[in-house]
Amino acid sequence: MSVTIPVGLGDRAYDVRIGGGLMAEAGAHIRPLLKRGRVAVVSDATVWALHGEALTSALARADIVASPVIVPAGEGSKSFEMLARVSDDLLALELDRGDLIVAFGGGVVGDLAGFAAAIYKRGIDFVQIPTTLLAQVDSSVGGKTAIDTPRGKNLIGAFHQPRLVLADLDVLSTLPRREMQAGYAEVIKYGLLGDFAFFEWLEANGPGVLSRQTEALTRAVARSVEMKAEIVAQDEREAGRRALLNLGHTFGHALEAETGYGEALLHGEAVAAGMAMAFRFSARQGLCPRQDAERAQAAIAAVGLPVRMDEVAGYPFDADALVRHMGQDKKAEGGRLTFILARALGEAFVAKDVDAGAIRDFLIEDGAVAEGAAA
Ligand code: NAD
Ligand code: GLY
């Protein structure tokens, strides 16, 4: 079973193909996009060791020579240093504009390789072959590319749409369960932000998705991509509605910053806790029924994802430090904080003028401590 979802962006439109066995067909899908049979494959060491040979052979069957550019696995690779190294490797390969970069990995590789593609010789085409659930349902679609700096995550980047996304569900068979759970947070996000029926379906079918049952996994990835594609086609540059995709991210980024963007708290786990916090904050402000916040939280917790700060390594967190991280977030405008809040399950909205004091009070009530009191 395979599904194709178009991302309607005019002359930059592209397809997202979702299904089993797509990697084996990669050459046939990519060859029509090439002037000559050459690509650079940017991947991380873990993904390359597991699946590099299969991809190289699949490309070779379509007469495509693939040159690997391998970076260490992990968020640390989204850095200026690694961007410089990858760019230099691409130059050494003498890649030109008729060639193409394949981003083969999770969100880290997609964001890094996509940004390298955006700036390499003022822009070269790239294809995403996402290998984590998170990358398949979110980061490979929509053209956001970025690296991190010591001042914050994703602060340096570009919008650069891929020419094609191949989401091969079979590749997820090697993904550790914790990474599946982290990716599932972004799946629930779509239900919570805009599709109550999908949310209800996930309440019943979440375990099937996580245990990679073909039908459940296909439906979950396809509905997520369909929602993302629809939002991106309407608002590519995040002038409005696309910001809804940041549900849970402002709280989540603050927790990630406090925990050092690493193994202690994966991005999807931070988003999970952040979404639960966004719903609790919405309920506290009287914007959303308390039962909806509880139900959102229950659905997130049911698959083993964190919903409260005291479940996150490094707890207790300092409320003022968290608020300061939120101020660094690129979603902060003019000193006021922008949050994605909820009116109900499946009804998120952009709140542009949230008072930092109200957030601080909420954080303390929700388990953070006042400045100086954290261990
Ligand atoms: P990741 O890329 O670090 O991958 C997670 C881990 O899984 C890595 O260790 C990787 O080597 C391993 N891995 C990947 N595929 C595997 C497979 N098939 N089998 C076994 N191991 C595998 O992390 P991620 O969760 O995919 O992505 C997180 C990143 O995505 C963050 O940097 C985040 O900012 C970014 N992101 C970007 C967007 C966007 O729109 N551009 C959206 C969401 C998240
Ligand atoms: N992950 C948020 C976005 O793509 O806009």
Identify whether 330 is a catalytic site residue.
Answer: no
Residue 67 pairs with which residues in a beta bridge?
Answer: 40
- Span 47-76, mean pLDDT? 97
pLDDT band for position 151 (cuts 50, 70, 90): confident
200 counts as catalytic = no
Name the average pLDDT for the chain.
95
16, 50, 75, 111: residue to mutate for ligand 1 pocket, most atoms within 8 A of CB: 111
Catalytic residue among 17, 242, 280, 325: 242
Structural domains of the chain sorted by starting position, each given as residue range(s) with its CATH number in brackets: 2-173 (3.40.50.1970), 177-366 (1.20.1090.10)
Beta-carbon contacts of 143 under 8 Å, excluding residues fewer than 6 positions away, are 114, 159, 160, 161, 162, 232, 236
Annotation marks residue 203 as catalytic? no
**pLDDT of 260 over the 90 cut:** no
pLDDT over threshold 60, residue 331: no
Per-residue H/E/C for 285-321: CCCCCHHHHHHHHHHHHHCCCCCCHHHCCCCCCEHHH
Q: Given a cut of 80, is residue 330 above it in pLDDT? A: no
Task: Clarify whether 12 is annotated catalytic.
Answer: no
E strand residue ranges, the chain: 2-7, 14-19, 38-44, 65-71, 100-105, 125-130, 144-149, 152-159, 164-168, 337-344, 347-354
Q: Give yes or no for a contact between 166 and 26, defined as CB atoms under 8 angstroms apart.
A: yes
Q: Is residue 374 scored above 80 in pLDDT? A: no
17 with 167: CB under 8 angstroms?
yes
Query: Does the Cβ of 249 fall within 6 Å of ligand 2?
Result: no
Q: How many CB atoms lie within 10 A of CB 156?
A: 16
Active-site entry in 153, 249, 280, 325: 249
Residues 140-146 have a mean pLDDT of 98
pLDDT at 375: 46
Which of 132, 133, 245 has most ligand 2 atoms within 8 Å of CB, for mutation?
Answer: 245
The whole-model pTM stands at: 0.96
| Mean pLDDT, rounded, for 191-202 | 98
Residue nearest (by alpha carbon) to ligand 2 atom 2: 245
Residues 6+ apart with CB under 8 A from 82: 71, 72, 76, 112, 147
Weakest mean pLDDT among 16-25, 33-42, 147-156, 286-295: 147-156
Centroid of ligand 2 to alpha carbon of 93 (angstroms): 31
In contact, 204 and 56? CB cutoff 8 Å? no
Q: Quick check: 70 and 164 in contact, CB under 8 A?
A: no
